[in-house]
Amino acid sequence: MKKEYSTSERFALSISKTPIENQMENLRSIVLRHAIESQLISEKDRINNTPDYQWLNNEIKRRIKLLSFLSQVIVEHYSLDDIDAVSKNINSKVETVVKQIIQEIIQSKRQFSSAKSTFGGSPKI
């Protein structure tokens, strides 16, 4: 089972990470939240670190790393005054990762035990 950190422990961990690591973690959390809210996986899956959660978490991490690599090539720079652009950038990356994972699920016809139906063919997404 995954260790739950106190607020002060989470803060200490977050300041020890680089800005890119923080952004990657933020993106991962947002995508996982969407997966839970859409009932692709459950909060119980996350807490119990089920195979469904592990697969999804690994896919999210892999795709975020690839987006990060692409971002390094493109070289994105924002000033502190450009919060709106940063927010749009994060939302765009979340959307990209979600779409890629949906495609992967559909193509592989992967079944999630928490999902109400099997994905594949013509799912109702």
**pTM greater than 0.85:** no
d(CA 57, CA 32): 7
| Residue in 13, 15, 23 with CA at minimum distance from that of residue 78 | 23
SS3 state of residue 42: coil
For residue range 92-101, what is the model confidence (pLDDT) as tens digits?
Answer: 888 888 888 8
Which has the higher per-residue pLDDT, 20 or 115? 20
pLDDT at res. 100 = 85
- CA-angle at 92, arms to 41 and 40, nearest 5°: 10
Tell me the C-alpha distance between 57 and 47, whole Å.
Answer: 12
Question: pLDDT-derived band of residue 10, with 50, 70 and 90 as boundaries?
Answer: low
As a whole number of angstroms, the distance between CA 35 and CA 41 comes to 6
| Contact between residue 120 and residue 106 where contact means Cβ atoms under 8 Å apart | yes
Give every CB contact of residue 110 below 8 A, 6+ residues apart in sequence.
55, 104, 119, 120
